[in-house]
Amino acid sequence: MTSLRPVRGTRDLVGDDMRAYRHVVETAHRVAARHGYQEIATPIFEFIEVFSRPLGETSDVVSKEMYAFEDRGGERLALRPEFTASVARAFISGAFGQALPVKLFCSGPAFRYERPQKGRYRQFHQIDAEILGAPEPLADIEVIALGHAILSELGLADHITLELNSLGDGESRRAYRERLVGYLERFKDDLSEDSQARLERNPLRILDSKNKRDREIVGEAPRLTDCFNETSLRFYEQVQEGLEALGIPFEKNPKLVRGLDYYSHTAFEYTTTELGAQSAVLAGGRYDGLIATLGGQDTAGIGWAAGIERLSMLIGELPARPRTIVVVPMGDGMEIEALKLATELRTAGHHVDYGFKGRVGQRLKRAAQQNARHAVMIGEDELAAGKVVLRDLDAGEQQEIERAVLGEHLSRRS
């Protein structure tokens, strides 16, 4: 019999884990809305081609990590391993009409079959931002600035570093690819097995290999910027100038790359040294060729994704929980009246708990254990007089108060 516990690489979000998750998501959505992003939610599964076409059938994500299956109708589907392809598919499907550019924000689960480790799960969660239809460097600056604003509002500005690079335009990248392959071919037998395979498919990925010998070889490799044309150089300069104007610090990292052909120009990552090997907490880049790769009209795009689990691990003290008000019936037959009173206070915007059984003393003791701020008690005499007994659980004091002004009184004391 299968053990009744979460599947390996998944977990239940409860207690402080859930509070941290909600804090990240709600903060990100609030900041994104201030920046003019509209929210989108895409299905968690798509036709498999949505991911296999842009990522490539031989990529690690598609060949080793993607949860793919055939449904009862014979359709080949996959759980989404990332958001960008799903957002691009929604764009092609006509979800946003013809108005460009469009700025989109979403959050939710994604799925990859990989070895679980600190901050990495098989069902993980991301926040994601995309700008479609804006080929200008200003869009790159804007989307990077959104990431910085979210991280700052989460209190993480002192814990992260923005690493920046440019892949150049298609012409520059093709010239560099040829030059890089010529260099790496001389060391082919010394490269790791993964890098030898990448040499044929996506040699730029070798630049960010974690293998020690690979890194030694790459250390002497030609630089991407050596092959930049004037357009690529100016684009990169404008992005840097914009970030400097906004006061967003960055470090140039020439080894920061994206291996797929539809990526161009800006690549960036917000990284930290506080999560061990999992250093990237928010990463993205420009993908002007993606929508055309999926069969849509040639449309510029840039965006990023951030792991909610990793961001949650970096957050220090969470915002304090709202302290509740507990409503306590006094005497037999007062349960419904107490519930009506709880409903009145909830409707007025208060956080109210209501127990289902126990004597008054037991309920007050439980309320104190739950760190409730006040207890509101009602019995037959109070009901007849239109009053309640309000007990301050911190001070241990209580008073009678008119029921009609209770909500307003509690608002002043919260």
CA atoms within 13 A on the CB side of 394: 8
Which conformational region is residue 132 in: left (phi greater than 0), alpha (psi within -120 to 50 degrees), or beta? beta
In eight-state DSSP terms, residue 268 is: E
pLDDT at 291: 93
Task: Enumerate residue ranges in the chain where pLDDT < 50.
Answer: none
325-413 shares the fold of 15-169+229-314: no
In eight-state DSSP terms, residue 330 is: -
Q: Just give the CATH number of 15-169+229-314.
A: 3.30.930.10
CB 354 within 8 A of CB 339: yes
pLDDT at 411: 86
How far is C-alpha 120 from the geometric centre of its chain's CA atoms? 13
Closest CA to 101 of 36, 160, 45, 10: 36
CA atoms within 13 A on the CB side of 92: 19
307: which strand partners?
Answer: 126
The CA distance from 11 to 123, in Å, is 8
Does residue 137 have a cis peptide bond before it, meaning omega lies within 30 degrees of 0?
A: no
Q: Just give the CATH number of 325-413.
A: 3.40.50.800
pLDDT at 123: 96
CA atoms within 13 A on the CB side of 154: 31
Q: Which two tokens stand for residue 182?
A: 């010529």
Range 69-77, long-range pairs (CB < 8 A, 24+ positions)? 75/47, 76/47, 76/48, 77/45, 77/46, 77/47, 77/48
Strands (E), 235-317: 251-252, 264-271, 280-286, 301-307
Closest CA to 166 of 222, 224, 231: 224
Closest CA to 355 of 338, 378, 369: 338
The CA distance from 110 to 306, in Å, is 12
Q: What is the CA radius of gyration of the chain?
A: 28
The CA distance from 329 to 379, in Å, is 6
The CA distance from 67 to 80, in Å, is 8
Concatenating the DSSP letter of every residue in 340-375 gives HHHHHHHHTT--EEE-SS--HHHHHHHHHHTT-SEE
pLDDT at 277: 63
pLDDT at 75: 96
Per-residue exposure over 126-157, b if at least 16 CB sit within 10 Å of its own CB, e if not? bbbbbbbbbbebebbbbbbbbbbbbbeebebe
State the Cα angle at 305 between 232 and 120, rounded to 5°: 125
**Domain residue limits, the chain:** 15-169+229-314, 325-413
CB 280 within 8 A of CB 271: yes
* Order of all β-strands in the sheet with 397-402: 352-354, 325-329, 374-378, 387-392, 397-402
CB 213 within 8 A of CB 188: no
